[in-house]
Structure 1
Amino acid sequence: METTRCRQWPAQATMNPNLIGLQSVLKTQLELAGGLHTVEFKLHAPQAQEVLLIGEMTDWQAHPIPMTRNGDGAWRTTLNLRAGQWIYKFWVDGAYLHDPANPLVAGDGWGGFHSYLLLGDGDWAKHDVPHGELVRLSVPSDVLGQSAEVALYLPPGYNPAQRYPLLYLMHGHRTRGNQWATNGLVDNFMDNLLAQGVVTPFIIAMPTVDGTQPLDRLETFLVDELYERLSRWFAISTGRCHTAIAGMTPHALGAFNLAWHRPDRFGFVAPVSAFFLDETLDALSAKPLQVDFGIKLYCGTEDYVQPLSERFAGILRSNQVTFDYMRVAGGHTWRYWNSITRDLLQTMSDYFIGSHTRVSKVNHA
């Protein structure tokens, strides 16, 4: 398949292990510099026999924190937590319960909900800056035989008379596209980074993938049908030099897989904590791999999928494929994903700016 060549990503096929360790240390020190926030967790459950706090602060069920019941029937515990997002639930007499007193809730991917806290200040917080628009779409699909949910971020001052690059931002296993706006807070990130002048305006499409659909139909919908509809409905710059894909896409619909299958559509790909199937990695290892798009990998050093990312990186290196790899402390959590979102969005912006400059020069010549 013939593809249009876009700007080449700077070569960085290997990383110094000492640098990787330094990145982890720096991130830890930055977190410590933010100070601690005292938080009281409270649940009114006078009939309960046992209440535990579980969440990212307890490594979920690994280290649950027993809560104490007072005379008023309320269970309490107090923690000192660092700035950022913390996801949690209560375990009440053997059943999960999100915090009924906390309005910040999101789907947990298992048919229920979790609660979350946002402590301190950061790029993820809603600041007094121009705000973009988060549009909820129901996109009819001929190939799926049903409509698909898509959350769309339009930058502040969106002007239909001009054209914007497009980023596909994919959700993870058992979650939905709107989770990038709830726990991901991507609209706040974009608003703040645009106000700081560190990214260029672009549109973000966050489709919800229905895992009950056949993979070939889902791929056709995402790569062709959705792209065609969004290009007609919104002011999108068409062409692979203006289109990228990133995110925690599940299994065979991973960001890399979609770009690998359709290099004519995507000029840059950023797998985030990606779950690479063994058969996918075996297929990539079986023959020489040629890649005609930019790649940047993200994976936390405590993430259970890190061995898969390491194997994938090894395959790229063995084929002398140019890529970048950001490895810092973190697990398979929104707390980690929040920590790399600024870099992810800046990386996409840098790619779009570089590709636009290259295309403009070619056209001018």
Structure 2
Amino acid sequence: MKKFTVLFALLLMCAMTFAQQALWGGAPVVSPEIHDDNTVTFRLKAPKAVKVQLTGDFLPPHTIQTPRGEYDAPGIVDMKEGKDGVWEYTTAEPLNPELYGYSFYVDGLKIMDPGNVYMIRDVATVTNVFIIGGDRADLYKVNKVPHGTVRRMWYNSPTLGMDRRLTVYTPAGYENGKKRYPVFYLLHGAGGDEEAWIALGRTSQILDNLIAQGKAEPMIVVMTNGNGWQDAAPGESPKGFTVPSMSPKERASAPEGGFELSFPEVVKFVEKNFRTLPNKKHRAIAGLSMGGFHSCSISKYYPDMFDYVGLFSGTASRNDKSTCPVYTDFEDKLKIQFAKTPALYFIACGNRDFVFKGVTDFRKLLDDNGCKYEYLETGEGHIWRNWRIYLTEFVPKLFK
């Protein structure tokens, strides 16, 4: 018994030693270091490296060609080796308030910053992140305000033949009251999932801050998984730790228009499990890119479901070859939807976005048919920086 006690004590000490190493080991250098003037220094200790580079969305972008047009990719710069094999780069100019992403290349191999534990996944790409505070970016921070609750939940979709996962934000005070709330359905883009708006879009922080400032009505926000072939985000389903992808084969396995046709199942689940105001004037739907396409399609196919519609860098368009009822009679469905006078139809896009022409064409169609909408045009392209802006502009307009 005594030997067992001694052995157990030794094992416990070893475990504590490893824990202490993880707790107190620390990063080899400070990175990123945000200076008082909002310039930022990045450092990486790599004494055997020949070439170290920094890539980030705060650097001047370079343009790449895609089948869908030009696309702005994050810029890349060389870092300079200093004392003790520490490579360093300081931004030439102060950075504007924003949430930024970056990573390193060491002799061509992409790595994360070991000095920064804060990382976000976007489809299959992981980047380190940091925030420069001030102005709109303060909405992206966790501030000393009342906080809402974020839940991950599962609902059954008979149309898609599976249980599916979604993310739900409820405003501060929801659990302690009996009040009913309007609902905003917020959809992600291609390659995203039910985690995207929470992680990359800073939805819970934005809602907490806008509600606390009195600029937005308290509301429930539902972030679905818009991939009709997928039950949940990679790593969050019975499939295990699968590699995130946008495989055409997987996409083709879902029924055409299945997500749009199944959307009433999401609404039914939410209205059964939460204290909602279950009518058109207390429902909103919006999404980015593919989610904008879904929002346009769902809102015109179910014209009595949503009074507020937002298209962020995305629209629907005619598809005369489709036999899916969601996509047929495109213009007739739009006319029916707008004849019912939605409270708000909001379109936003960057003027360097590869979907900008499609958005322009869609706006002309709306103009030609006398459909009323609000339009916001920003700079830059198909990026989360724009979609966070659009969310902060759209939410205060809801349920007034």
* Residue pairs, 1:180-195, within 5 angstroms: 180-195=197-212
Number of residue pairs matched by the alignment: 314
SS at match of 1:88: strand
Relative distance call for 1:175 and 1:36 in structure 2 (3 A) is farther
Given the alignment, which residue of 215, 229, 248 partners 2:269?
229
* Residue pairs, 1:1-365, within 5 angstroms: 37-58=38-59, 59=61, 61=73, 63-79=75-91, 80-109=94-123, 111-121=124-134, 122-159=138-175, 161-210=178-227, 212=251, 213-221=254-262, 223-250=263-290, 253-274=293-314, 276=316, 279=319, 284=330, 289-290=335-336, 291=338, 292=340, 293=342, 294-348=344-398, 352-353=399-400
Matched residue type, 1:92: V
Task: Give the conservation status (yes or no) of the 8 Å contact 1:54–1:64.
Answer: yes
Task: Give the conservation status (yes or no) of the 8 Å contact 1:254–1:271.
Answer: no
Could you tell me how far 1:193 is from its partner in structure 2? 1.3
Mark the runs of 5 or more structure 2 residues left unpaired by the alignment. 1-35, 63-72, 229-250, 321-326
Could you tell me how far 1:285 is from its partner in structure 2? 5.9
Matched residue type, 1:174: G
SS at match of 1:317: helix
- In 2, Cα distance between the equivalents of 1:322 and 1:253? 18
- In 1, Cα distance between the equivalents of 2:44 and 2:315? 36
Relative distance call for 1:108 and 1:180 in structure 2 (3 A) is same
Task: Give the conservation status (yes or no) of the 8 Å contact 2:346–2:375.
Answer: yes
Could you tell me how far 1:50 is from its partner in structure 2? 2.4
Could you tell me how far 1:155 is from its partner in structure 2? 0.3
Could you tell me how far 1:143 is from its partner in structure 2? 2.6
Higher relative contact order (Cα pairs below 8 Å, separated by 6+ residues): 1
Matched residue type, 2:129: Y
* 1:111-168 residue CA offsets vs partner (Å, 9 max, x unmatched): 2312221111322211111111111223333332333221111000015622111101
TM-score when scaled to structure 2? 0.72
SS at match of 1:135: strand
- In 2, Cα distance between the equivalents of 1:69 and 1:277? 51
SS at match of 1:256: helix
**Dislocated runs of 4+, deviation >4 Å:** 275-278, 280-288
SS at match of 1:147: strand
Task: Give the conservation status (yes or no) of the 8 Å contact 1:273–1:300.
Answer: yes
Matched residue type, 1:289: K
SS at match of 1:57: coil
- In 2, Cα distance between the equivalents of 1:282 and 1:225? 22
- In 1, Cα distance between the equivalents of 2:257 and 2:185? 18
Could you tell me how far 1:344 is from its partner in structure 2? 1.1
CA RMSD, 1 decimal? 2.6
- In 1, Cα distance between the equivalents of 2:328 and 2:218? 38
* 1:77-97 residue CA offsets vs partner (Å, 9 max, x unmatched): 111311111122223333433
Moved more, 328-337 or 304-313: 328-337
Matched residue type, 2:290: P
Moved more, 111-120 or 135-144: 135-144
Could you tell me how far 1:302 is from its partner in structure 2? 2.4
TM-score when scaled to structure 1? 0.78
Mark the runs of 5 or more structure 1 residues left unpaired by the alignment. 1-34, 354-365
Task: Give the conservation status (yes or no) of the 8 Å contact 2:260–2:294.
Answer: no
Report % sequence identity. Answer: 27
Matched residue type, 1:149: R
Relative distance call for 1:303 and 1:216 in structure 2 (3 A) is closer
Relative distance call for 1:95 and 1:308 in structure 2 (3 A) is farther
Could you tell me how far 1:52 is from its partner in structure 2? 1.9
Moved more, 304-313 or 336-345: 336-345
- In 2, Cα distance between the equivalents of 1:310 and 1:215? 26
Report what 2:12 is aligned to: none
Report what 1:27 is aligned to: none
* 1:230-265 residue CA offsets vs partner (Å, 9 max, x unmatched): 111111111211111012151795211111111122
- In 2, Cα distance between the equivalents of 1:183 and 1:145? 29
Moved more, 120-129 or 211-220: 211-220
Task: Give the conservation status (yes or no) of the 8 Å contact 1:36–1:83.
Answer: no
Relative distance call for 1:285 and 1:39 in structure 2 (3 A) is same
